[in-house]
Amino acid sequence: MTPTVAHFGKDLIGLEPLTGDQIRAILDTAEPFKEISERRIKKVPVLRGKTIVNLFFEPSTRTRISFEFAEKRLSADTVNIQTAGSSVVKGETLVDTARNLEAMRIDMVVMRHSASGAARFLAERIPSNVINAGDGSHEHPTQGLLDLLTIRDNLGKIEGAKVCIVGDILHSRVARSNIYGLIKLGAEVAVCGPPTLQPVGIEELGVHIFNRVEEAIEWADALNVLRLQLERMQSGYVPSLREYNRLWGISTARLEHAPKELLILHPGPMNRGVEIDSDVADGEHSVILDQVTNGVAVRMAVLYLLAGGAPEKAESAKGGAES
């Protein structure tokens, strides 16, 4: 098969190394795959005979299940491994786990890990395709892609869109993947949150910084509201959850001052009443569940492309619409 612009290499570790054209090709490939999930029989033979291991060393609801649906809808054989049920709890290293999986002749590994760099570490040591499902505070590329697809679906285009990422930027792999992807596709990107939760030098990535959430709301077309990652905080980043909600929480009262209607995204899981109020999360401008739906199509596209599929053949590969 002749490599095209969409072929981004053996692995998907992050959006930082990809070009705008490669990211666009993934989003364009996801478009025809959306329809498979709307069928009565949600299955096409695109990855028949491929074996994929979902290796999750951290909790996940959306990403793990979304990958599993994507794999099954493309007819791959899948195995799920979570830390608690694996020999990792007996002290086995990541590389030994992976080598043992390789010995069983697998094709791809989807991995979530608490350590930044774990996905690259694995990708450099095994011949299977590795997809990063979130590594520490580094990147979460398929989340970034599904956010891009959802923004494109709702605003019509990404180029020129003003997107503000609000909240705990410091610990967020979602923020990094969003920033790389949005900027490569021509969006204007801002971040907003407590100074204690902004990484030093974040402006070097090409983002604006808002110190007050009211300014961000006045400026943006879309807000991507991040979860306050309490499990990664040692201490002292925010005075209290109540204080955080008062200063940075996205509420209907705050949004009423927006000069235009804002698209509201959140990668989940949400802390309702902390970074986002329930009436906003469930409100008419929220696309949070659309993000989840798009996640399956984006992951199908990534799996298909890594398996050597061509974007222009995605429509015919899935066999057209079911009659």
Residues of this chain that bind ligand CP (CB under 6 A): 60-63, 134, 140, 143, 267-269
CB 173 to ligand CP: min, Å:
8
In whole angstroms, the minimum distance from the beta carbon of 321 to ligand CP comes to 29
User: What is the bridge-based pairing of β-strands 162-166 and 263-265?
Assistant: unpaired
Phi, psi of 318 (to 5 degrees): -90, 0
Tokens of 57: 């060393």
Residue 56 C-beta: closest distance to ligand CP, Å? 9
Closest separation between CB of residue 98 and ligand CP, Å? 21
Element (H, E) at 63: helix 62-73
Buried b (16+ CB within 10 A) or exposed e, 125-164: ebebbbbbbbbbbbbbbbbbbbbbbbbbbebeebeebbbb
Question: Strand 77-82 vs strand 129-135: parallel, antiparallel, or unpaired?
Answer: unpaired
Of the pair 239, 269, the CB lying nearest ligand CP is at 269
Minimal distance, residue 322 CB to ligand CP, in Å = 29
- Here the tokens at position 175 are 């923020």
Note if the bond before 17 is cis, omega within 30 degrees: no
CB of 174 to ligand CP, least distance (A): 7
Please tell me the distance from the alpha carbon of residue 1 to that of residue 142, in angstroms, as a whole number.
Answer: 24
CB nearer to ligand CP: give 140 or 162.
Answer: 140
Please state, as a whole number, how many other Cβ atoms lie within 10 Å of the Cβ of residue 93.
Answer: 10
160 vs 269 by CB, closer to ligand CP: 269
Mapped onto helix, strand or coil, the DSSP state of residue 295 is helix
Q: Which is nearer to ligand CP, 140 or 152 (CB)?
A: 140
Q: Which is nearer to ligand CP, 267 or 309 (CB)?
A: 267
Q: Which residues pair with 222 in a beta bridge?
A: 163, 263
Supply the minimum distance, in Å, between the C-beta of residue 257 and ligand CP.
Answer: 28
20 vs 268, beta carbon nearer ligand CP:
268
The Cα–Cα gap between 175 and 165 comes to 7
Are 264 and 250 spatial neighbours (Cβ–Cβ below 8 Å)?
Answer: yes
* Nearest CB to ligand CP, comparing residues 75 and 83: 83
Strand partners, 97: none
